[in-house]
């Protein structure tokens, strides 16, 4: 199923995740899935992409600033049950964020199921930019989030 993922830069400091989680929970917004990574890795990937393509993704003066600023932030990706409400809260809270469509799949929590899903993407010629997911060991289902390069094709393949 297609869902909207919110990506945001979170200050990399004690208490910031708790502050964001409280902001959402106080408004009744549940976090269905999330992943957090050091934003400096994200910026390094931008530099690598620029090096491969020889095109600037940002003005030259921005690269030094981006590299310095990214050390103080984490890149957070999350799915919530009430996206519009979360976006409003984030906007009012001054967070820098973006939204993109992703494929959220509830799959059986057993060996080989993730492999089958990943193979299905490959067989259809759809590259996966990133994926995250989890399940508790004794649960029968797990939730995995895929960010495919071709969301239209992926959404047709992985209907509800």
Task: Assign residue 80 the CATH number of its domain.
Answer: 3.30.2130.10
Residues 45 and 90 in one domain: yes
Dihedral angle sign, alpha carbons of residues 62, 11, 40, 54 = negative
Splitting the chain (160 residues) into consecutive groups of 10 residues, what average pLDDT does each group show? 93 92 97 87 63 53 56 87 96 92 94 93 94 90 94 87
Question: What CATH number does residue 114 fall under?
Answer: 3.30.70.260
Residues 81 and 135 in one domain: no
Dihedral angle sign, alpha carbons of residues 50, 54, 58, 63 = positive
Q: What tokens does 84 get? A: 């519009």
Q: In terms of C-beta density within 10 A (0-12 exposed, 13-18 middle, 19 or more buried), how is residue 42 classed?
A: middle
pTM: 0.79
Q: Domain range holding 52?
A: 2-99
Q: Which of 77, 99, 121 is the last residue of a domain?
A: 99
């Amino acid at each position: 199923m297609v869902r909207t993922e919110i990506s945001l830069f979170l200050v990399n400091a004690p208490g910031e995740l708790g502050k964001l989680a409280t902001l959402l929970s106080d408004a009744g917004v549940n976090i269905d899935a999330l992943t957090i990574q050091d934003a400096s890795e994200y910026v390094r990937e931008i530099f690598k992409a620029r090096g491969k393509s020889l095109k600037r993704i940002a003005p030259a003066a921005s690269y030094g600033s981006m590299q310095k600023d990214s050390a103080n932030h984490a890149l957070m990706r999350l799915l919530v049950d009430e996206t519009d409400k979360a976006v409003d809260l984030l906007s009012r809270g001054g967070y820098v964020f973006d939204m993109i469509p992703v494929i959220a799949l509830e799959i059986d929590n057993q060996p080989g199921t993730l492999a089958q899903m990943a193979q299905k993407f490959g067989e259809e010629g759809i590259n996966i930019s990133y994926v995250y997911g989890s399940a508790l060991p004794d649960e029968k289902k797990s939730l995995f989030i895929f960010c495919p390069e071709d969301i239209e094709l992926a959404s047709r393949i992985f209907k509800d």
